[in-house]
Structure formats: structure tokens, C-alpha cells
Amino acid sequence: MKLNQNYRNLEESYLFSTVARKVSAYAAAHPQAEILRLGIGDVTLPLAPAVIEAMERAVAEMGKKETFRGYGPEQGYAFLRESIQGYYARRGVALSVDEIFISDGAKSDLGNILDLFDADNTVLVPDPVYPVYVDTNVMAGRRIVFANATAENGFLPMPDGRVKADLIYICSPNNPTGAAYSRGQLAAWVAYAQKVGAVILYDAAYECFVQEEGLARSIYEVEGAKECAVEFCSFSKTAGFTGTRCGYTVVPHALAGGALHKMWLRRQTTKFNGVPYIVQRGAAAVFTPEGERQIAENLAVYRRNAKRLSDCLDGLGIWYTGGKNSPYVWLRCPGFDDSWKFFDHLLEEANVVGTPGCGFGKNGQGYFRLTAFGGEDTTAQAVERLQALLKK
């Protein structure tokens, strides 16, 4: 028996596990402290009534012999795939139903998709970046190169003709920086991928927060993207499914001459038994007129939180990006060069938790991520504490 030695190359601890451990230790030592958590990007508002009603009906169906369902199709029930197809169509993107695959979340698929690619492929990821992109490729032993995302380029790196990559990760709006690509910028990435024969792995988990005209919500808004891009999305941030688990991945027929679509179907039917029927019924309700109306109300709360945080930083004269088209606000640590030291400062002096930017890569050092997914009262209190602690 031989172990996968690539695991030795991983960081000792996952970023968010370290944050949780430090917060738990502080809370144990200071039991009276009221800690406000704006760190991990978990939602706080409940599922929409339309979703709950659909899931309750599905539960009732499972209790009757005539409507009980056992194993479902691994790629997802047609009713949910058609619902997602309609969602894209309303935004001007045409997809075939069988190009849409239902999963238990974007995070899983972003790792699982790597089954389709040889370990010799070179992977290009932005820095800073969501750790899963890096860690899953380290586990597989792939060579990773980084595209520097900095304040100078708005944390939106563009293709470098001197770099050759086979797999390209793009997240827009970005986690952690909140920066979002325009259609024109994505068109440059599509052209680059087509030129070098690469596949773009496009994470659209936060697309529902895009409001600004000209910014893309799907890479398939760009001509030619279906020939070089796989798109991953999730109901977690769109509809609060972080604890319910449902997402989807789009693998176009035009990609790699249809080979990747066939391989992904084969992979899923072999290694995945599908998302529960009850969850899929709830997910399909997300894209009904009533579901979209109710979910828009929840998203409006998170957008107000993001504006509160942005207005606070504006008032303090602290540089940041994100907020307007993203649930994340990415700020330059005031008075600190070390992100973890700023984390400790906020936790100890204001009892506010965020996420150290250095945990997302070397270019995140000196930066910090705050999330707008907290409750409105929590965000308002955190803003008051930040203003009191960080005012000049």
C-alpha cells in the first residue's frame, strides 16, 4: 500500500478551519464576548417560502407508494434541468437540457471535474484565490502557475501570452476579492483559451449579485465560450442552499468535440448517485416567478449589508474592492502588513471576525475579506465597532 504523497504538499490546515479554531479558542477564553462573524461566507437567511412549500410537497410524495421515488437520474431530474435552462434563457443564453448536470454543490464539482484531465496538465489560477482550486490540484500532483491579481489590475488579471496553461480557473464575481469581469474581459480569456487549447473552469457561484451593466453573469454570454469553458454554479448563495446542498455544472457538447460531455456523464453515472429528489424539487422552485421574487428579497438584504460595509470603509478612508456586485468586501488592512495580525486585532479589540487575505495566496497578504452574508443587525453592529476601532 502506498499513500498519495501529494497530500504532503498541502498546507497543514484549511484556511477556514484555522479561522474557526482561532475564534473558538478566543471564545473559550472570553465567554462574555459577543463575537460578530463576518468571516466564512455562509448565508444567514432562511430558505424562501416557495422552496419550503415545494420540499414539503415532495416529502409528502415520498410517503405514498404511488409517488415514492428511489434512485433518480445521476445527472438530475428533467424538471430541475429544464428550470435551470429557462433561467439561462431569460438571460439570453441558450443551453441544451442535457448539457446541465445537477450536483450537491459547486465545490464538489470543481474538484471532481479534475477526474477528466491528465495529471500532466498545467493549471493557471489567480492569486489570491479560493483555496479549493489550488488544493485539489495539489492533491493530484499537477503543476500550478499563478496569474497575479493585485490592486493595480483591479484584482482582475488578464491573459499573459507568455504563459502556457491547459486548465484555467476563473471566478467572477471573485471569491475572495469581489471583483467581477466584464464581458469584454472574459472575451479576452476565451480567445486566449482557444489559442492555446485550454479549458476554462468558470465558477459563477456569485453571479446573482451582479448588478452593473456590462459585467458578465455567465461565461456563455461570450461568443465561443461553449467551445472552451465549463461553468459551475450553486444554489448556495443564490437561494441559501448552503445546508441543503444543490448546484449544477454546464458541460457544452461543443467542448473538446463532445468528449468532455461524454466523460463527465460517465464519471457522474459511475461515482455519483444524484441529489435527493426532495432537494431538487426545492431547487426547481427557486426559478419560479414566486421563488425569484422571494429570493430577490433575501438578496436585497445581503446587498444592503455590503453597502453598509462599503460605506463604512469609504468613511474611514480604507481602500477596498467588491461590495457592489459581490457579497464580499476586500480591503487593505489599515496599519497592518500581516493579514493574520489584523485578524487578531479585530477579534481581540472589536470581537469582529473576518478572513485573512493571505489565506487565499501571497497577493492576499495585507488584505482582508469581510462577508455581507451576516444578519442585518450583526452587520450594523460590526460597522459600529469597525468605525470605533479604525477611525483615524
Q: Could you report the per-residue pLDDT of 113-123, keeping only the tens digit for each?
A: 999 999 999 99
Question: Worst-scoring range by mean pLDDT, 9-23, 84-98, 102-116?
Answer: 9-23
Reported as a single tens digit per residue, the pLDDT across 321-375 is 999 999 999 999 999 999 999 999 999 999 999 999 999 999 999 999 999 999 9
> Which one-letter amino acid corresponds to residue 34?
E
User: Within 13 Å and on the Cβ side, how many CA atoms surround 311?
Assistant: 11
Report which residue type is found at 389.
L
User: Taking 90 as the threshold, does the pLDDT of residue 313 lie above it?
Assistant: yes
Domains and CATH numbers, the chain: 5-47+296-390 (3.90.1150.10), 49-290 (3.40.640.10)
Cα dihedral sign for 181, 184, 190, 196? negative
Mean pLDDT, rounded, of the chain = 96
Residue 16's pLDDT is 83
Average pLDDT over residues 230-253: 97
pLDDT tens across 69-93, in order?
999 999 999 999 999 999 999 999 9
Closest CA to 119 of 167, 75, 82: 167
The phi-psi region of residue 42 (left if phi > 0; otherwise alpha if psi is between -120 and 50; otherwise beta) is beta
- pLDDT higher than threshold 70 for residue 13: no
| pLDDT at residue 15 in the model | 84
pLDDT category at 17 given cuts 50, 70, 90 is: confident
pLDDT at 44 over 70: yes
Q: Which of 328, 377, 381 is nearest to 352 (CA)?
A: 381
Residue 261's pLDDT is: 98
Question: Of 281, 285, 232, whose CA–CA distance to 103 is shortest?
Answer: 232
Q: What is the pLDDT of residue 213?
A: 95
Query: Pairing between strand 229-234 and 247-250?
Result: antiparallel
**Model's pTM, two decimal places?**
0.96
Q: Give the residue among 248, 251, 247, 208 at the shortest CA–CA distance from 229.
A: 251
Q: Determine the angle formed by the axes of helices 289-316 and 376-390, rounding to 10 degrees.
A: 10
Beta-strand runs (E) in the chain: 36-37, 100-103, 122-127, 143-148, 167-171, 199-203, 229-234, 247-250, 320-322, 328-332, 352-353, 355-356, 367-371
Q: CA torsion, points 103, 105, 110, 115, in degrees to nearest 10?
A: -30
Band of pLDDT at residue 220, cut at 50, 70 and 90: very high
Average pLDDT (98-126) is 97
User: Could you read off the pLDDT of 269-291 as tens digits, one per residue?
Assistant: 999 999 999 999 999 999 999 99
Q: Which pLDDT score, from 0 to 100, does residue 253 have?
A: 98
DSSP 120: T
**Percent of the chain whose predicted confidence (pLDDT) is above 70:** 99
Nearest to 283 by CA among 32, 39, 115, 84: 84
The model's confidence at residue 311, banded by pLDDT at 50, 70 and 90, is very high
User: What pLDDT shows up at residue 392?
Assistant: 64
pLDDT of 128: 97
